[in-house]
Amino acid sequence: MPSPVHIIGIPPDVEPNTRPYWETRYRQGDGPVGETPHEWLVQATWRLPRRGRALDIACGMGRDTIWLARWGLCVHGVDFAATALAEARRRAARAGVLERTAFIQADLTRFYFPPRYYDVIIGFSYWERDILPEVRDAVKPGGFIVYETLNIYWKHTRPDVDERFLLQPGELLEWLQGWRIWAYREVGNDGHLGGGKKAISSIVAQRV
């Protein structure tokens, strides 16, 4: 019997940042598979409430979802890659926080964000401008957004990356104008990168 065929790499007809693209990457072990939460979230956690509801946008395999559940929050992790969500559930079970997590397979551009519902919303390595008003409005007064993703200066390293998915200078601040900004940074805005760091923008903001 012939051995099964394994596709190496992404098929050329699969558009980046689509569901088939990410399913393929996760199945091949090429997606973000780490279990350590993002450093920006870890540094911001002390400001966050220990009770309430949280939303993890584009949660992948759930490393940040699980971190917030361990902190004490009930967390919805949303992603459109079933492969990633299945692993996220296994990890949440191993971590003993399955009862405080719910993983939802959904396209975020079609996801319903209930107004003033979440105490915390986090997002890493995902940027979709069409949903920004809904994400902002889904946070309760006094609640937090913790966000970090690649910015336009990443094109110095990866000129092939689509600008639609990259932050413009100051865009996070503009998005959360009128909120209390507890922490903010832009890395790479000097036109070059150092120390192996990616060009990212990060924010911790509280709705007032």
CATH number at residue 188: 3.40.50.150
Residue 75 lies in a domain: yes
- Written as six digits, the tokens of 157 are 């390293």
Residue 202 lies in a domain: yes
Residue 24 lies in a domain: no
Residue 29 lies in a domain: no
Q: pTM for this one?
A: 0.84
| CA gap 120, 55 in Å, rounded | 6
- Written as six digits, the tokens of 202 are 């990060």
Domain count, the chain: 1
**pLDDT of 17 higher than 90:** no
Asked if residues 63 and 77 have their Cβ atoms less than 8 Å apart, the reply is: no
**pLDDT of 131 higher than 90:** yes
For residue 187, give Cα distances in angstroms to 16, 56, 149, 202.
Answer: 24, 23, 10, 9
Domain region containing 162: 35-206
Q: Which has more pLDDT, 198 or 137?
A: 137
Residue 149 lies in a domain: yes
When mean pLDDT is compared across 13-22, 78-87, 154-163, 182-191, the lowest value belongs to 13-22
| CA gap 65, 86 in Å, rounded | 13
Question: Across residues 23-31, what is the average pLDDT?
Answer: 54
What pLDDT is recorded for position 84? 87
- Looking at residue 122, the DSSP 8-state letter turns out to be E
